[in-house]
Amino acid sequence: MTDTRHTRVLIIGSGPAGYTAAVYASRAMLEPVLVQGIQPGGQLTITTDVENWPGDTTVMGPDLMVRMEAHAREMGTEIISDHIMSLDLGARPFVAQGDSGTTYTADAVILATGAQAKWLGLPSEEHFKGFGVSACATCDGFFYRGKEIVVVGGGNTAVEEALFLTNFASKVTLVHRRDSLRAEKIMQDRLFKNPKVEVVWNHTVEEVVGAQEPRGVEGVVIRHVDTGETTTIPCAGFFVAIGHAPATELVKDQLELHNGGYVKVEAGTTRTSIPGVFAAGDLTDHIYRQAVTSAGMGCMAALDAEKWLAEQEGETPAEAAAYAAPVDAAE
Ligand code: FAD
Ligand code: NAP
């Protein structure tokens, strides 16, 4: 079915940035529409314990995102299960094409498409994806009960994935290309204390090897960065946890990017190179990349969009605020 619908603010993405933008835009009476994408709730839905969301000593990532969705809905955001296939920022109103067949037109757009897992780029990694190669321990760890697993990476994600996988695996080997991790110290402590974990320093992964019929991983070949010596580590599962790249597919030819592909915003704001288009969260942040910072930027994006729309409509921000006042007064 094909239909077209217009909104003042279209929010693309349903991670902490998108849902926070939705809460603020709803409270500004902008009646936002939020399109969730293929990962409703974003990256936190593929993790377990989150221990740095203020107000919760520990909270399960998926639970937190369900709460954020409910909050945005309760405030009045229309949340749509759809994926934006293309976005035309060349003229206003902006036009987004949904996978469902719906065409969305919007006076302002808040981009909150976050980031996606990076891969090593090996042909053998591609060959065994879904057959022993994964980038999501919480999704696939269960399949490796009593088996040996290799994880590659040295950041928070790699350490978290390795620790989580010890719940299933008989042994987890973490392969890192340097001699120190960039993960937080508290995470490193937990890793080094875990008797199921071995860390192999100064090695890169060269190849994933395995059986063809049925297709399945049997090991990874690693190479010492100094000596060039190669070794094969036997394993049934190989988890790639080498970071995330910003999801800029929709806008990479339309907006200014920087720092290796992140959407550039004016310092201290969420304004992109096109007026009326705002960016928040991991999509624009190559430094912090946290749930709380993404949420903070989502708030900024909604406030920036509100101000910009008010300017477009000839209202001052004070007038726009006065328009929203009766709702606040009723609370
Ligand atoms: P994301 O969470 O990446 O969400 C992006 C959203 O955009 C998704 O909903 C997706 O469906 C949508 N989208 C993408 N493309 C489209 C499209 N074309 N159309 C429509 N929608 C689209 N941070 C912490 O602070 N604490 C932690 O403990 C923590 N643990 C983590 C564990 C793991 C395993 C990972 C991977 C990350 C973790 N992070 C943690 C980082 C945190 O998850 C991110 O910083 C945060 O989720 C970024 O939020 P975001 O809203 O920018 O985007
Ligand atoms: P990251 O911090 O960018 O770390 C990526 C790791 O992978 C680095 O150790 C890097 O090595 C290694 N790497 C990158 N490319 C590689 C390659 N081609 N081959 C081998 N190794 C490679 O990414 P992340 O761990 O996914 O974390 C992303 C963000 O989310 C961070 O800001 C992190 O703090 C946040 N996060 C937070 C939590 C938490 O708070 N509990 C949990 C998960 C993620 P080098 O070290 O040599 O560069």
pLDDT beyond 70 at 146: yes
Residue among 14, 108, 122, 109 at smallest CA distance from 68: 14
Is 139 designated active site? yes
The token pair that represents 21 in the structure block: 């933008």
The token pair that represents 36 in the structure block: 């969730």
Which residue ranges have their beta carbon within 6 Å of ligand 1?
A: 12-18, 35-40, 42-44, 46-47, 50, 52, 83-84, 112-115, 157, 160, 247, 250, 281-283, 289-292, 294
- The pLDDT tens digits for 34-73 are 999 999 999 999 888 888 999 999 999 999 999 999 999 9
d(CA 64, ligand 2 centre) in Å: 22
Planar angle of CA 33, 39, 45, nearest 5 degrees: 115
d(Cα 75, Cα 280) in Å, to the nearest integer? 20
Helix (H, G, I), strand (E, B) or coil at 141: helix
Mutation test of ligand 2: which of 53, 157, 185, 240 has the most ligand atoms closer than 8 Å to its C-beta? 157
- pLDDT above 70 coverage of the chain, percent: 94
Better pLDDT: 287 or 202: 202
pLDDT beyond 70 at 9: yes
How many CB atoms are closer than 10 A to CB 85?
12
CB 241 within 8 A of CB 109: no
Residue among 79, 62, 76 at smallest CA distance from 24: 76
pLDDT beyond 80 at 320: no
CATH superfamily of 123-240: FAD/NAD(P)-binding domain (3.50.50.60)
Q: How far is CA 183 from CA 91, 131, 176, 275, in A?
A: 43, 28, 12, 37
For residue 58, give the ligand nearest its CA: 1
d(CA 12, ligand 1 centre) in Å: 12
Selecting among 49, 63, 99, 136, the annotated active-site residue is 136
CA torsion sign, 306 to 307 to 313 to 319?
Answer: positive
CA torsion sign, 298 to 299 to 304 to 309?
Answer: positive
- Looking at 31-35, 193-197, 239-243, 325-329, which range is the least confident one? 325-329
Is 136 designated active site? yes
pLDDT beyond 60 at 273: yes
Better pLDDT: 1 or 267: 267
Q: Which helix (H) or strand (E) holds 159?
A: helix 156-165
Q: What is the pTM of this model?
A: 0.85
- C-alpha 161 chain-centroid distance: 16
Q: What is the pLDDT of residue 315?
A: 62
d(Cα 147, Cα 168) in Å, to the nearest integer? 8
Q: What is the pLDDT of residue 314?
A: 78
Q: How far is CA 109 from CA 104, 132, 141, in A?
A: 10, 39, 37
Is 140 designated active site? yes
d(Cα 111, Cα 145) in Å, to the nearest integer? 39
Q: What is the pLDDT of residue 329?
A: 32
Helix (H, G, I), strand (E, B) or coil at 53: coil
Q: How many CA atoms lie within 13 A of 174 on its CB side?
A: 31
Mean pLDDT of all residues in 249-274: 96
Residue among 267, 330, 329 at smallest CA distance from 304: 267
The token pair that represents 54 in the structure block: 């203020």
pLDDT beyond 90 at 316: no
Q: Do 4-117+244-323 and 123-240 show the same overall fold?
A: yes
Q: What is the pLDDT of residue 49?
A: 83
pLDDT beyond 70 at 327: no
**Core vs surface per residue 217-238: b (16+ CB within 10 A) or e:** bebbbbbeeeeeeeeebebbbb
pLDDT beyond 50 at 302: yes
d(CA 87, ligand 2 centre) in Å: 29
- Looking at 55-59, 136-140, 203-207, 305-309, which range is the least confident one? 136-140
- pLDDT above 90 coverage of the chain, percent: 87
Better pLDDT: 142 or 314: 142
Q: What fold, for 4-117+244-323?
A: FAD/NAD(P)-binding domain (3.50.50)
- What is the domain partition of the chain in residue ranges? 4-117+244-323, 123-240
The token pair that represents 221 in the structure block: 């070949």
**Core vs surface per residue 137-164: b (16+ CB within 10 A) or e:** bbebbeebeebbbbbbbbbbbbbbbbbb
The distance in angstroms from the start CA to the end CA of the chain is 40
Helix (H, G, I), strand (E, B) or coil at 114: coil
State the helix-helix crossing angle for 16-27 and 291-312, rounded to 10 degrees: 40
Q: What is the pLDDT of residue 325?
A: 39
Mean pLDDT of all residues in 296-318: 89
Q: Mean pLDDT of all residues in the chain?
A: 93
pLDDT beyond 80 at 115: yes
- Band (pLDDT 50/70/90 cuts) for residue 8 is very high
